[in-house]
Amino acid sequence: MNLLWLQSGGCGGCTMSLLCSEARDPLGQFRDAGIDLLWHPALSEPTAAEALDLLEGCAAGRTPVDILCIEGAMLRGPHGSGRFHRVSGTGRPMTEWVARLAAQARHTLAIGTCAAYGGIPAAGENPAEACGLQYDGAIRGGLLGASYRSRSGLPVINVAGCPPHPGWVIDTLAALAAGELREEDLDALGRPRLYADQLVHHGCARNEYYEFKASAEKPSDLGCLMENLGCKGTQAHADCNLRPWNGEGSCTRGGYACVSCTEPGFEEPGHPFARTPKIAGIPIGLPTDMPKAWFVALAALSKSATPRRVRENATADHLVVTPAVRRTGLK
């Protein structure tokens, strides 16, 4: 299968994430999956006229494009012309190139939240008129339109994340190459369910603190980040703590609150990222599927039962009280 990768309005972090994978090199993984990389702006040797000839051949249908990967937001400005971002040497907007290529592609993928929903470039007043391939924020539409389907019959596959875990990208591409990814394998926002059916909360190293509602009060604390420091791990769809990045880390393991970067609109939460908005002392963003009354009752009960070890460690940057050494009593 031929893979063509283009970068639009973004920082290049999705490619950096892929290259920093703990697994073997991405190009080797592509080959193992039966995928031939036609061109990537940072990884391929062809440049200038040679690269443009390749792009024109793909857009015209002379060179088959089985998988089209777009990284970065679609910059439609000014006034819908797309001329804020033109492909060097062509004078034509990137949006025009993407639309032509998407019409030929067997599968179209938005790599990262910028390409999926607009992401960081769409924040604020959005003078660049940034949007995603098939979403403008949480609203279907985007550059290609709500009704767009690739030649396989699938909508745009949104491998969302800022940046996405390298495993999400590789697994999605491998599933497509094996013919094992169908529309029912995508969630309501077009994300592959192979990672979007999980929550960042699953496997979080701070879960004991969460269970007892023993909360961190400042960034260096070991406690749960949800109550005070803006963590959305109980709502965010991703498996970051089940398959840690490079086998080792995640935002919460590094002491940073999850900002739910796989969802549309994460870039403008309406409050500081590291602060939890509350009403009458109760966090607005409650865990997924949990009624407010249940959460309040559970929090009160949990806090009353918090062991001293958990309570004191929660507001420290290191273990102050270690677990007691006791026999389990199990035979």
CATH of the domain at 187: 3.40.50.700
Residue type, 257: A
Q: Give the confidence band of 289 by pLDDT, cuts at 50, 70, 90.
A: confident
Residue 326 maps to a domain? no
Q: Domain with 255 in it: what CATH number? A: 4.10.480.10
Residue 184 maps to a domain? yes
Last residue of a domain, one of 174, 196, 218: 196
- Return d(Cα 330, Cα 54) in angstroms, integer: 67
Asked if pLDDT for residue 328 goes beyond 80, the answer is no
Taking residues 286-296, report their average pLDDT: 81
Residue 323 maps to a domain? no
Q: DSSP letters along 270-289, please?
A: SS-TTS--EETTEESSPPTT
Asked if pLDDT for residue 55 goes beyond 90, the answer is yes
Nearest to 196 by CA among 236, 247, 147, 256: 236
Q: What percent of the chain has pLDDT over 70?
A: 99
Residue 292 maps to a domain? yes
| Same domain assignment for residues 96 and 120 | yes
Q: Provide the domain count of the chain.
A: 2
Q: Give the confidence band of 331 by pLDDT, cuts at 50, 70, 90.
A: low
- Return d(Cα 97, Cα 287) in angstroms, integer: 41
| Same domain assignment for residues 140 and 35 | yes
- Return d(Cα 43, Cα 36) in angstroms, integer: 13
| Same domain assignment for residues 73 and 221 | no
State the chain's mean pLDDT as an integer.
94
Last residue of a domain, one of 196, 220, 236: 196
| Same domain assignment for residues 175 and 221 | no
Domain that includes residue 217, residue range: 199-318
Q: Give the confidence band of 26 by pLDDT, cuts at 50, 70, 90.
A: confident
| Same domain assignment for residues 225 and 172 | no
Residue with tokens 């062509």: 90
- Return d(Cα 129, Cα 137) in angstroms, integer: 11
pLDDT value of residue 330: 67
